[in-house]
Amino acid sequence: MNLANYIEHTNLKQNATADDIITLCNEAIEHGFYGVCVPPYFVQLARKTLKKNDIKVITVVGFPLGYNTVSSKVEETKKAITAGAEEVDMVVNIAAFKSGDIVAVQNDIQSVVTACHLQNRHVKVIIETCYLDEEEIKTICKICADCEADFVKTSTGFGPAGATVKAVKSMRKYLPAKTKIKAAGGIKTKAFAKELIAAGADRLGTSASIELVKYSEED
């Protein structure tokens, strides 16, 4: 298994600097990661640093709390795509979902999905599984699938817990085969990364990427 193909090398720290993002991109080039995941402010810099490499530029929208207005998320999405983002990871309005406002949640997701798909960009919906029980995961996965999200993502990495094997297995059970899964948050070891992939994850978001691919030729 080539773990590098699964990895979105990530730096979403509030105090990330331009030099940090340049380093992140150069590491992605060196190790052949699938992509880099950076704050919207740094999308243009990441695209410029990666030049003509095939490494994807991914960014986040409504991050990390998700309760931004729909119009602000759509505008943020459009600006990110214009700057060079090839994939967008949006945080669902968890506050609306926990309040039972399913119509607002559907509108939230569908609006960003449409903005991405009109520009032939992939979109991932971050559902923050640490706040959800099994039935809620089932419900929100159905909404994401109905809205034709390309991926459903476990976590922002800013919540009280990140990706778990249990959550990924649940998501895989409730999502159609065409809807992929991104696991993110707390992925620090190669063994855990492989467990998540075995459970159904198609992509991994992590800042510990280099540790995960060390000595991969021995696997």
- Whether this prediction's pTM lies above 0.85 is answered by yes
Q: How far apart are CA 40 and CA 187, in angstroms?
A: 22
Range of the structural domain that residue 164 is part of = 3-218
Q: How many domains does the chain have?
A: 1
188 catalytic residue (yes or no):
no
| Side-chain-facing half-sphere of 139: CA atoms under 13 Å | 15
Strand partners, 80: none
pLDDT digits (tens, 9 = 90+) for 163-214: 999 999 999 999 999 999 999 999 999 999 999 999 999 999 999 999 999 8
Return the pLDDT at 217: 45
In degrees rounded to 5, what are phi and psi of residue 11? -140, 100
Which of 56, 180, 182, 190 is flagged as catalytic? 182
Return the pLDDT at 105: 98
Return the pLDDT at 98: 98
Return the pLDDT at 214: 84
Task: Give the strand pairing for 87-91 and 180-184.
Answer: unpaired
182 catalytic residue (yes or no):
yes
| CB distance 195 to 215 below 8 Å | no
Dihedral sign for Cα 156, 157, 162, 168, please: positive
Q: State which residues of the chain have pLDDT below 70.
A: 215-219
At 189, list the tokens: 């070891």
Return the pLDDT at 1: 81
Which of 89, 108, 124, 180 is flagged as catalytic? 89
Q: What is the CATH number of the domain that holds 165?
A: 3.20.20.70
Return the pLDDT at 145: 98
Which of 56, 73, 124, 153 is flagged as catalytic? 153
Return the pLDDT at 52: 87
51 conformational bin, left if phi > 0, alpha if psi -120 to 50, beta if neither: left
Q: How far apart are CA 162 and CA 144, in angstroms?
A: 19
| CB distance 43 to 77 below 8 Å | no
180 catalytic residue (yes or no):
no
In degrees rounded to 5, what are phi and psi of residue 7? -95, 130
| CB distance 199 to 154 below 8 Å | no
Return the pLDDT at 215: 61
